[in-house]
Structure formats: C-alpha cells, structure tokens
Amino acid sequence: MSKRDYYEVLGVAKGVSEQDLKKAYRRVAMKYHPDRNSEDKDAEDKFKEASEAYEILSDDNKRAAYDQYGHAGVDGSAGGGGHSNFSDIFGDVFGDIFGGGGGGRRGGPSRGSDLRYTLELSLEEAVKGTSAKIRVPTLVACKACDGSGAKPGTKAVTCPTCGGHGQVRMQQGFFSVQQTCPTCRGKGKIITDPCKECGGHGRIEETKTLNVKVPPGVDTGDRIRLSGEGEAGGDGGPSGDLYVQVAVKEHEFFQREGKNLYCEVPIGIVEACLGGEIEVPTLDGRVKLKVPEETQTGKLFRLRAKGVAPVRGGAAGDLLCRVVVETPVNLTPKQKDLLRQLQDDMTGNKTHSPKQSTWFEGMKNFFGDMKL
C-alpha cells in the first residue's frame, strides 16, 4: 500500500514553518491518540502515520530529501512507523501535556525570584545623581529554621512516594512518562515537623529598607541592579536580585531627549523686535541669554554643555532654548492706539513682514491656478 504525502497527512503546505508544523502534528496526534480512540482500530495507524510524517518533516536534512525525491528519498529514515525515534518526538511536542518526557532531575535548593521596584526621581536627581532609601516587601529566609522549613532540631525526610528522586513514572497508554512527584513537588524530601515561625515554607514576609545609590545621568527606563536583594531562595538556595527601575518625573521647565535638555522661553514683542538680554534657567542656575533684534518665534538658542552627562560616560549635552514671542494682552486704549499708528506706518512696506508677504503671494497663486 502506497504511503500518503507527509504534508497531506499533517494538513500543511510544503513551505510550512517549524512552529506551524509542530502545531499541526499536535492537532492530528491528539485527534488520533490511541488512548482517546480505544474503539477505533484505524486510530493507532493514523497516529503512527502522523508521527512518521512529523519525524521526517521536522528534520531539515530528511525534509530536503523528501521534498526532492519523495518517499524514495527517506525510506528507512523514518523510525519504522514512528517507533525508533518516537520518544524524542513525544517529549518535544507533548511534554507540556503529560508533564515532560522524562529526564527530570531531583529538586533541590532553588534561587529566589528577582524583584522590581520603581523609583521616581526629579530631573535634578536623575541628572546629578542621588542616594535614596527604599522600602521593599519581600520574602527572607526564616531565622528560626535557617530557611530549611523544618522545626529546629529536626530535618526533612526522604519522600516515600518517589524515594527521593523528585519524579514519578506514569503510564499513558503504551507510553511511559515522568512527572513531578505530587507529594514532594520535585524536592525529593518532605517536612514532617514544620517550623512554627514559617509554617514549613522556610521563608517569611518582611519589608527591607535599602539605600540605593543612583549614578548621575540616569533616565527613565534605566535599571539599577542590587545583587542578592530579591526574594530568598527555597531550601536555603541563593536570593534573587532586586532591579530598581528609574522613572523621571516631568519637570516644570525642561524636557529631556537623550543627553540634551529643551526649554521654552517666552519673550515680549519689544525684545523680539529690538533685541535685548533675558534670563533663562539651567540646572546649574540662571544664565543671561542675548536675544538679537528681529527674533522670530521658534528660534533655538544653544547653551553648550548645559545638558546631561550620560550615565555611561561622554561629554555633556546642550540646553536648547526655544523662544516664543508673546502677544501683548490686556492693552489700554492708549496702547491700542499706538499699535494702530504703528500698523498704519508699516502698511504697504513688505520688508517689515517678508514671510507674511510671501505667504499671501503664494496663496493668490494657488487660488489663481485653481481657476478653470
């Protein structure tokens, strides 16, 4: 009897990815698994057929030979209907269903979990560096039992279910698989007389106060690692780490982009027209900024090295001040009259407002081009 096309068996196209191939095999194998189809005589054959197809197509070399020569290129490569290498296939695809396909190791001391703490800083603190005290709730080793979980003077005993291996073998139809021991949960030992302080867990909740040294130049998203300040490990294992995540609060004047700072500086219409000198803020104090005459809104003034020195080293950035010309408000009748006189005096002279004149000319041309 001729064999069916392997791609057809798994219901996939020829260029299927490894991940989609595995999903397809899982679907077909679960459908025809002998344990689920005990009364269907053809189910086991279809199950083996799918296993053989997956064995060939999941191997790059065998798949290339099959794509070029068909079944003739892989005859003898498949594990006799899916039996010789089937344990590898089974463990790879069904490990998460049946608890892993063997090879489990005995449990022991485990490393504690890492923790994360979000530390809010002002822009000044982030740029110049600071020290901060933080309080972190965590799990620490129980002092009464020294983290063992057993009552002082006693110790854990070998698990009677798994004999100390941490794994038990289970039969799934004609397959034999290993699972984590349900009695000791993979530890290989159980506590018969638990510590009263921690209830046999070996760890207790506690809030630690830590001092965090923040280096100059940090920014939102940067992390500071405090080794061994995470949760205590199980069964006396090493503690995890604490990662302090930096979050810089918004500033009243400055916005930060990398190592540069930006700020917006309002100036009056007189300073913009005639020029002058204004004070602008920096993180080191106030400085004088000379504004030339005829300054327009949006002009950027760069103050060298008044930005941020990067945390990983390098030259400090700059402070870029963007001026915004403020239109006068709450004018008196006399002030309004003076502005009208100025307007009358400037009317007809395009040199006073070159951008405005150019814009209006462009608009006229635009509407002129639209006429049919």
Q: CA distances (Å), 34 to each of 4, 40, 63, in order?
A: 20, 8, 27
Specify whether 302 is located in the same domain as 205: no
pLDDT of residue 237: 81
pLDDT of residue 349: 74
* pLDDT tens profile 112-153: 899 999 999 999 999 999 999 999 999 898 999 988 889 999
What CATH number did the domain enclosing 186 receive?
Answer: 2.10.230.10
Average pLDDT, the chain: 84
pLDDT of residue 289: 93
Does some domain include residue 30? yes
Specify whether 48 is located in the same domain as 64: yes
- How large is the average pLDDT for residues 328-351? 88
Is 205 strand, coil or helix? strand
pLDDT of residue 209: 94
Judge whether 238 and 112 are in contact, CB under 8 Å: yes
* pLDDT tens profile 10-28: 999 988 888 888 888 888 8
What CATH number did the domain enclosing 306 receive?
Answer: 2.60.260.20
Per-residue confidence band for 35, with pLDDT thresholds at 50, 70 and 90: low
Domain count along the chain: 4
Judge whether 317 and 261 are in contact, CB under 8 Å: yes
- For residue 134, the Cα-to-chain-centroid distance in whole angstroms is 23
- How large is the average pLDDT for residues 313-335? 94
Per-residue confidence band for 268, with pLDDT thresholds at 50, 70 and 90: very high
Where is the domain boundary, 204, 225, 248? 248
Is 228 strand, coil or helix? coil
Residue 226's DSSP bridge partners are 242
- How large is the average pLDDT for residues 103-117? 72
Instruction: Say whether pLDDT at 73 is over 80.
Output: no
Does some domain include residue 265? yes
Instruction: Say whether pLDDT at 106 is over 70.
Output: no
Does some domain include residue 38? yes
Does some domain include residue 185? yes
- Residue of 64 and 176 predicted with greater confidence: 64
> Which residue range forms the structural domain that includes residue 360?
333-365
Where is the domain boundary, 98, 129, 149? 98
What CATH number did the domain enclosing 39 receive?
Answer: 1.10.287.110
Specify whether 188 is located in the same domain as 306: no
Specify whether 79 is located in the same domain as 143: no
Does some domain include residue 106? no
Specify whether 271 is located in the same domain as 359: no
Instruction: Say whether pLDDT at 56 is over 50.
Output: yes
Judge whether 237 and 286 are in contact, CB under 8 Å: no
Specify whether 72 is located in the same domain as 33: yes
Specify whether 119 is located in the same domain as 230: yes
Specify whether 124 is located in the same domain as 148: yes
Q: Which amino acid, residue 269?
A: I
Instruction: Say whether pLDDT at 352 is over 90.
Output: no
- How large is the average pLDDT for residues 343-351? 80
Specify whether 357 is located in the same domain as 318: no
Percent of the chain with pLDDT strictly greater than 90: 44
pLDDT of residue 59: 85
Specify whether 244 is located in the same domain as 119: yes
* pLDDT tens profile 191-249: 889 999 998 888 899 999 999 999 999 999 999 999 999 998 877 788 999 999 999 99
Per-residue confidence band for 174, with pLDDT thresholds at 50, 70 and 90: low
Does some domain include residue 371? no
Q: CA distances (Å), 221 to each of 18, 121, 135, 212, in order?
A: 35, 12, 20, 16
- How large is the average pLDDT for residues 314-337? 94
132-156 burial code (b ≥16 CB/10 A, e <16):
eeeebebbbbbeebebbbbbeeeeb
Does some domain include residue 372? no
Cα–Cα dist 10/4, whole Å? 10
pTM given for the model: 0.59
Does some domain include residue 105? no
Per-residue confidence band for 272, with pLDDT thresholds at 50, 70 and 90: very high
Instruction: Say whether pLDDT at 363 is over 50.
Output: yes
Instruction: Say whether pLDDT at 361 is over 50.
Output: yes
Cα–Cα dist 69/52, whole Å? 17
Instruction: Say whether pLDDT at 95 is over 90.
Output: no
- How large is the average pLDDT for residues 338-365? 78
Specify whether 162 is located in the same domain as 240: yes
Specify whether 154 is located in the same domain as 241: yes
Instruction: Say whether pLDDT at 330 is over 90.
Output: yes
